[in-house]
Amino acid sequence: MTALISPQQRDALERWLTHLRALDGAAANTITAYGRDVSAYLSFLAEHRGGAEGTAALTTLAIQDIRAWMAHERARGLSARSLARALSAVKGFTAWLADRDGADATAILSTRGPKFRRKLPRPLSEDGARAMLDTVGDQSRADWIAARDTAVVTLLYGCGLRISEALGLTGADHPLPDTLRITGKGNKTRLVPVLPAARAAVADYARLCPYDLSRTEPLFRGTRGGPLNPRLIALVMEKTRMQLGLPATATPHALRHSFATHLLSAGGDLRAIQELLGHASLSTTQAYTAVDAARLMEVYEKAHPRA
């Protein structure tokens, strides 16, 4: 369907995506998803309005056009969550166009997305997380691979890292310092304290690893020496959770949720946890932690100046 998009619109889309890459520091997966969503939107409009148009038409659409697109997407099976993401991409592209061309795109930018219930993360229990760290190394016969897997999951739970952040470490990060400088989503940098257990786990792995961990090479290696595939960590955790009888939600990302939840449950400050996770919004951190309302109220009463 992309053949229906006019060259002018296609060029504008590429310019916007380049803008996101260069200035906003958006992740590669986000760029790909936004490009796909907006391309599908532009293709629909060309068909809906009887032919390809220039960019000026995109900022002067009626609310009925946007609703027709949303109805079309829902009819072809797009979930409410996915449609909300697509609408966000369309609004971002339209806002950029309107700003560039001095147009008024209020009708489009004020369109409300579909409502959906956000799936709250399910962290492991403290005992479950501890058992995962103690058992994940048992899944491999090779000592260095067992040590590698243990080191990675210890970083996920002990430092609250995303799997991409843990696997993005290089030989220059070994031995681990007291504080790691992590560049996360949106090229945002944060400082993360490193627990002695995490430092020891990585040191144990580095001692056993058969490959040269030079400063510019990935710290965590696959069997043949290349960068470790994150899917391998997901698989070894899947084997471990089955052995331990943990739920299917015991994934690498669940360890990051567990890090936040267990810190808050132990009396950690919500704002400090937000900084450790690298969240732009405190509300995101709240959703990340699976503590009950009473615990959140307790934190609120201690922190709020008028409490």
Which of 134, 58, 57 is closest to 92 using CA atoms? Answer: 58
Q: Between 28-48 and 80-101, two packed helices, what is the crossing angle to 10 degrees?
A: 80
Confirm whether 15 is a catalytic residue.
Answer: no
Q: How far apart are CA 55 and CA 8, in angstroms?
A: 7
Q: Which of 162, 221, 257, 262 is catalytic?
A: 162
Confirm whether 302 is a catalytic residue.
Answer: no
Confirm whether 288 is a catalytic residue.
Answer: yes
Confirm whether 304 is a catalytic residue.
Answer: no
Which of 21, 62, 252 is closest to 149 using CA atoms? Answer: 252
Q: Which of 74, 81, 85, 253 is catalytic?
A: 253
Confirm whether 157 is a catalytic residue.
Answer: no
Q: Which of 10, 74, 91, 185 is catalytic?
A: 185
Confirm whether 300 is a catalytic residue.
Answer: no
Q: Which of 148, 257, 262, 279 is catalytic?
A: 279
Q: Which residues of 57-81 are buried (b: 16+ CB within 10 A; e: fewer)?
A: ebbebeeebbebbbeebeeeebeee
Q: How far apart are CA 257 and CA 275, in angstroms?
A: 14
Active site residues: 162, 185, 253, 256, 279, 288
